[in-house]
Amino acid sequence: MTDAAGERIFSAAGRAWRATTRPYRTWRAVSTSLSLPVGLTPREQVWGLNKIKLYRYVPRRDPDQLHAIPLLLVFAAINRPFLLDLRPGYSFVEFMLDEGFDVYLLDWGEPGPEDREMKFDDYGAEYLPRAVRHVLADSGSEELSILGYCHGGLVSLLYAALVPDGPLRNLILLTPPIDMSQREDSLLSAWFDKRWFDVNRFADGLDGVLSSSAIENGAKLLKAVANYVGAYVNLWNRIDDRESVGNWQAMHRWIHDGVPLPADVFRQWVQDYLWSNALVSGRHVVKGTVVDLKRITVPILNVLARYDHIVPNAQSLPVPDLVGSTDVQTEILPAGHIGIMAGSRARESLWPKVAAWLAARSGPAS
């Protein structure tokens, strides 16, 4: 037998083995995804209150090579924030550390029935200000930048308006749902139409929290079922690519590892933000103070996902007209709500754009 013939036989045998074991390997990739290690970038907890934890990631540069202004990441309360730190080589946190930023993460934790009376405003009026103070105390800086993702952006905007003379230096809003009058006849607006959705009856019937499974299933219904079937088809097609499988598993774990939401947080979000649009209309009152977005004067980077099925672009586009800032930059990137941060093109599109914008406004990193 010639060497060429032997290679053809072994090659054919390899193809046959891969084809025969493909169903098992695909099933195994799915079944083990929920135990896949994620969020592996080294960090330490610097503060905590109730379920909330504040982490500082271990810097990758010497202190004299860090940007002067630390960065605080604020994620949506209904998701676990490890989307920002999926896995080594595919981590926004890792990228920003390499760019010389001192990075902190606010993890809202997992609420239980005992948190049933918590309000949406508490995130921006009670907990975020405390986290900010601890970031400053830990970093030794007098200012900080905040990146708020989705509802984390809404919370960050609320904080910025309530503390206009505070230590906030820069604000990055990533797919923020701000102007809720702009709903584009979405499924979400149809579900929560107050003509037939009784939010009080719904919230009162919850066991203190809106379960993570209810939130997950609602998110799935916002997107065509075929897209979710397509995700498993993609895994099947890429099962021989170890890196692709690892990325798929990390995203699959994130999607199916949600966080419940306190009943009154949901109630207030529907009544005050979705229905009344009180924040945008200037009628939102927190602790006796009217929240005036025009009091926000810090530089803002407002980033939208063109194919966002959760937050329509129309809800985020009005930001420059709503705030008092003169330095507002809006970017619309060709991605979806999740892909904009964790998709295959995020490293070339969103991440360097955020780093460059922030570096120009955060002091030198030598």
Cα separation of 53 and 31, whole Å?
29
Q: Which residue has the tokens 């379920």?
A: 51
User: Is 111:118 a contact under the CB 8 Å cutoff?
Assistant: yes
Q: Which residues pair with 91 in a beta bridge?
A: 85
Read off the tokens for 264.
């009154």
CA–CA separation, 267 and 142 (whole Å): 36
d(CA 176, CA 187): 18
- Per the residue annotation, which of 134, 150, 179, 252 is the catalytic one? 150
Instruction: Verify whether residue 337 is a known catalytic residue.
Output: yes
Whole-number Å distance between alpha carbons of 149 and 103: 15
Residue 148: count of CB within 10 angstroms of its CB: 28
What phi and psi, each to the nearest 5 degrees, are found at residue 323? -95, 170
The catalytically annotated residue of 85, 102, 264, 308 is: 308
Tell me whether residue 309 is one of the annotated catalytic residues: no
Question: Which of 67, 134, 151, 337 does the annotation list as catalytic?
Answer: 337
* 73 phi-psi bin (left φ>0, alpha ψ -120 to 50, beta other): beta
d(CA 52, CA 146): 17
Up-side HSE of residue 179: CA atoms within 13 Å toward CB?
16
Beta-bridge mates of residue 305: 333
67 is catalytic: no
Q: How far apart are CA 63 and CA 201, in angstroms?
A: 53
Catalytic residue set: 150, 308, 337
